Amino acid sequence: MKKWLVLGIALGCLTAQAQARDDVGSYSIKEALSLEQAKQKLGNSVAFYFGEQSHPKVLKRFGHFGTNKKTNAFNKSDKEACQWVFLSAMLQLKERAQSEGANAVINIKSNYKSNLTSSDTEFKCGAGTFVAGVALVGDFVVIEK
């Protein structure tokens, strides 16, 4: 009986450690957007500009909005889970842009756990044992075509 109690406590500690993992990594925007699913789902009706990327002249501004998405990371590599949740965050940006009447989102930055990070080439993603998350913020605008 004592053996089972010790084993149960040990397993409980290991499970708590596994659930507590939250590794924040940087992943390629270009690579994530080049996946076939991203191309199909995002289309080209809304343009996206990350960090300090140059963009056409802004004609109208709708505001600064964000997204905070999570996905099931179980049985996926961190990279796979992070690319998947990045696509989910990008889709939410696209849908918000369309509902506002914007044709672009500019100055997109990672905002994982309220830690704002600007990059033209990478996004931040937190990956744990069971969940991965991406938070993005950007300015919703109409740009010249």
Each residue's pLDDT tens digit, 76-132 = 999 999 999 999 999 999 999 999 999 999 999 999 999 999 999 999 999 999 999
Specify burial of residue 68 (Cβ count, 10 A radius: 0-12, 13-18, 19+).
middle
The residue among 57, 70, 86 whose CA lies nearest residue 128 is 70
pLDDT at 4: 52
In the DSSP assignment, the letter for residue 76 is S
- Give the model's confidence band at 22: pLDDT under 50 very low, under 70 low, under 90 confident, else very high: confident
Residue 99 in contact with residue 91, Cβ under 8 Å?
A: no
In this predicted structure, the answer to whether residue 15 has a pLDDT above a threshold of 70 is no
The percent of the chain in helix, strand and coil, each rounded to the nearest 5, is 35, 40, 25
- Give the model's confidence band at 1: pLDDT under 50 very low, under 70 low, under 90 confident, else very high: low
- Give the model's confidence band at 7: pLDDT under 50 very low, under 70 low, under 90 confident, else very high: very low
> Phi first, then psi: what are they for 74, rounded to 5°?
-60, 130
Could you give the 3-state DSSP secondary structure of residue 20?
Answer: helix
Give the count of alpha carbons within 13 A of 70, CB side only: 8
Q: Which residues neighbour 103 within 8 Å (Cβ) at sequence distance 6 or greater?
A: 45, 46, 47, 97, 141, 142, 143, 145
